[in-house]
Amino acid sequence: MAKGYWVSVYPAASDSEVLTAYEELAGPAVRAGGGRLLSRGRRVVAREAGITQRVVLIEFDSFEQAVAAYGSEAYQQALVALPDGFERDFRIVDGID
């Protein structure tokens, strides 16, 4: 079975207090959903498009598990810690068998 991944890119994460509050709630929610943090890339070497933004990569045992973790009550509560207008490009993608 192919793994599932959360990929988040933060184009404008300037308020570290807001991000810290989210991370304190999101971390336990992700782990409870079976997720494993692979990268919290604050250091990025950009190529081609030249965009150096923070990237977070989280792995799950399956795509379905990744989707379910996002919809969990615990993770939805973590999302509330991000204020309106907080910029983030979030995707759930499937891995290759």
pLDDT by 10s per residue, the chain, length 97: 899 999 998 876 555 666 788 889 999 999 999 999 999 877 778 788 777 778 899 999 999 999 999 999 999 999 998 877 778 889 999 999 7
Question: 27 and 75 in contact (C-beta within 8 Å)?
Answer: no
Domain positions in the chain are 4-94
CB-side exposure of 92: number of CA atoms within 13 Å? 16
Return the CATH fold of 4-94.
Alpha-Beta Plaits (3.30.70)
Sheet holding 36-41, edge to edge: 36-41, 54-60, 4-10, 89-94
User: For the chain, what is the radius of gyration of the CA atoms?
Assistant: 14
